[in-house]
Structure 1
Amino acid sequence: MTVGALHSWKQRILKHQQSAASEQPKQGTLFELAPNPCDPNNIDPFALELHSLSFCEKPDWGDSHCLYFVIDNQLPLLLYVGETERTPKQRWMSHDCHRYIENYIELHRRYSLDVAVAIAFWYGAPSNRKQRLQLELELIYKWKSPFNKECWQQWGQPFGK
């Protein structure tokens, strides 16, 4: 991938994600008691605490039910949405996304471009796996995260497979 193609690829994704971020949540009814925390419109991956990808070198921490987001904080771009019923460390250590991230970072380094890949965790995910997978899928379709296989047709697979 040329530097121009990389820049164009990232700008197309950024444009979509900025549009998705600006979408207003649906207005609730008068009788709703509280907003649904598992509504994909109420989850902002960019507002979560970011961790270095080396988090997995530390002792296990965090709940075993969560959603996680791989973000290039340089723009920012949401690169991947995932879910797990294992601790984040256990899930990350056995994940194909590692290779995509490594290739993404390597290409930026080859062209001396700034890159700031980090990971964020959201621990409000349902413990029910079917519900958690549904929420993950809704977030993938909302943000169109390029490293998720559901979005490869739209963005291509320049960093893996």
Structure 2
Amino acid sequence: MASDYQPSLLSDADLRAADLSWAYNRPAGSAMLADELQEWKRRVAQFQTTVRSGPAIAQGTLFDLAASSPADTLDPFGLPPRNAEFWRGQFQESGVPALYFVVDHEAAVLLYVGETVKSNQRWKGVHDCKRYILSYVEAHRSHDLPVAVNIGFWPHADRDRKARQALELELIQRWRSPFNKENWAIWSTPFVGGKLET
């Protein structure tokens, strides 16, 4: 049986120290300070840089060779970037099964990992990540800090929903993308609403 355990490159003290303090100590409705924003991005980028430059951590087995997963080699930062508002365009087709990655290319931070069966239609309508992106961009604009949030699609995802979701989860756990709820307790949720959500 596979374990969901993933070793941390950060110490327990690092994880407890600053991340959750912002969520609990910030008065409701107040803006994130510029130095807090920069430090939050620095910590996320530092972790993701180690993921990008190091080999994938894989659970070995005694009898089987571990099957290679696209998560081992897929680089979200290398995908062609599209404007995060791409979905407002007119498309002739609905798109293909894909994984998508919301990246701040200015900070080299992967913010969100998602999956879809129709890449050209996924973000039409309500999507919580749109709100997180707006909050993130607004935090930068209020301090005149550069930001470049884009979305990249990996169009080789399985048509089977369970297979796509399994790969999506593997990538969320590998990169610890902070806008995915699976990682809120690690990075806190300053762009989700100012409080720690579960």
TM-score (ref. length: structure 2): 0.72
- 1:11-38 per-residue CA deviation (whole Å, 9 max, x = no partner) reads 1100100000012258xxxxxxxx95x4
Identity of aligned residues (%): 43
Distance (Å, rounded) in 2 between the aligned partners of 1:100 and 1:113: 17
- DSSP 3-state at the match of 2:163: helix
Distance (Å, rounded) in 2 between the aligned partners of 1:142 and 1:71: 15
Taking the TM superposition and a 5 Å limit, the aligned residue runs for 1:11-160 are 11-25=42-56, 36=68, 38-60=69-91, 61=93, 63-85=95-117, 87-93=118-124, 94-160=126-192
Distance (Å, rounded) in 2 between the aligned partners of 1:111 and 1:80: 23
Amino acid at match of 1:9: W
Runs of 4+ in 1 over 6 A off after TM superposition: none
- DSSP 3-state at the match of 2:168: helix
Distance (Å, rounded) in 2 between the aligned partners of 1:128 and 1:52: 27
Looking at CA atoms only, which structure, 1 or 2, has the larger radius of gyration? 2
In the alignment, structure 1 segments of 5+ residues that lack a partner are 27-34
Over 3 Å counting, the alpha-carbon distance change for 1:72 and 1:83 in structure 2 is same
Over 3 Å counting, the alpha-carbon distance change for 1:62 and 1:75 in structure 2 is farther
The alignment covers a number of residue pairs equal to 152
- DSSP 3-state at the match of 1:90: coil
In the alignment, structure 2 segments of 5+ residues that lack a partner are 1-31, 58-66, 194-198
